[in-house]
Amino acid sequence: MACDTQPVRANQSLSQRKQEVRDVIAAIKRGLQSGRIKAVVDAKTRAVAFVGDIGDRKKVSDACVFKTMSAAERIAIEKAAGRPISMQAMQQGFHSHDGVTFATHKH
In tens, the pLDDT along 22-80 reads 999 999 999 999 999 999 999 999 999 999 988 888 888 888 898 899 999 999 999 99
What is the Cβ-side half-sphere exposure of residue 26, based on CA atoms within 13 angstroms?
6
β-partners of residue 38 are 51
Mean pLDDT of 75-95: 90
